[in-house]
Amino acid sequence: MKTILIVDDEPRTREGVRKVLESWSAGRYRITTSTSAVEALKWLDENEANLVITDIRMPEINGLELVEKLRERPHSPVIIVISGHPQFDYAHKALQFGVIEYLLKPLDKTKLVEAVELAFRREEEMNRVERMERIVDTKLLETTEQETQYGTQVKEAIQYLDEHLGESITMKDTADYLHMNASYFSVLFKEQSGLTFSDYLTRRRMQRAKELLMNTRLSINEIAEKVGYQTAKYFVKVFRSHEGVSPGQYRKGVSHAEETIQ
């Protein structure tokens, strides 16, 4: 269940926002409150919020300082700022920090709900991007983006690899398919793609493995086979060396990210 944290030192506003959102959410979201930014930060040390709605003017730490501190955290929530003062400087600063909406008091209930719905849509987009970043091999992506500049033989080699990724394919197999000398093909591939044949093949296999770990419930053994490794043990060794975690650990991390989207 996603959590909304309301931070406001004024009891009337704080409880008013809570009641509106509890009525709107109909039990779909956990809604909690803090009476100050200090209290909110302590709560967030042990809990996680998907959305923070904070007032600007509060004692000790104001709302903008709270937003700045939240942005420094690894998993920053989306944020809505509320204020009784239509000051441009506050609004501008809030937007610089990536705040989703800046609402003025007295709060319009409809606008509040619309802002919360927008915030959760934005959170889903951010999570989706984060998940994709975890899959994408940036070096492989750079190579793919330059593919239009490659010669016909290297393009055909890449297509051949993609079509036979689940097989125990070698550089000699690929060179033979292209009717090329293996040594010449090796130099040509590195020259045009920026990667050695072996490095490209491993990165492509790891990319496919991550896609399967995220999007399927196939076992590690089955995934190892589908990406061209004869034993799961060797696949796990290569995956850990490349990604820093085992395939099982990677899948758990991705599954957690998926839960935040639903």
Q: How many CB atoms lie within 10 A of CB 59?
A: 10
Please check the confidence at residue 117 and state whether its pLDDT lies above 80. Answer: yes
Output the average pLDDT for the chain: 89
Contact at 8 Å (CB) between 193 and 254?
no
Which amino acid, 45? D
Q: Is the pTM of this model over 0.75?
A: no
List the domain boundaries for the chain. 3-133, 138-261
pLDDT, one tens digit per residue, over 22-76 is 999 999 999 999 999 999 999 999 999 999 999 988 888 888 899 999 988 877 8
Q: Quick check: 191 pLDDT over 50?
A: yes
The residues, any chain, with a CB within 8 Å of residue 27's CB and separated by 6 or more, are: none
CATH homologous superfamily of domain 3-133? Response regulator (3.40.50.2300)
Q: Is a pLDDT exceeding 80 seen at residue 225?
A: yes
Range 123-131 contact pairs with CB under 8 angstroms and sequence separation of 24 or more: 123/50, 123/51, 123/77, 123/78, 123/260, 124/261, 126/78, 127/257, 127/260, 127/261, 128/261, 130/257, 131/214, 131/254, 131/257, 131/258, 131/261
Per the listing, tokens 């399967």 go with 212
pLDDT, tens digit, 9 for 90 and up, residues 227-262: 999 999 999 999 999 988 999 999 887 765 444 322
**Tell me, what's the pLDDT at 255?**
65
103 touches 115 (CB < 8 A): yes
Are domains 3-133 and 138-261 of this chain identical in fold? no
At 262 the pLDDT is: 27
Question: Per CATH, the architecture of 138-261 is what?
Answer: Orthogonal Bundle (1.10)
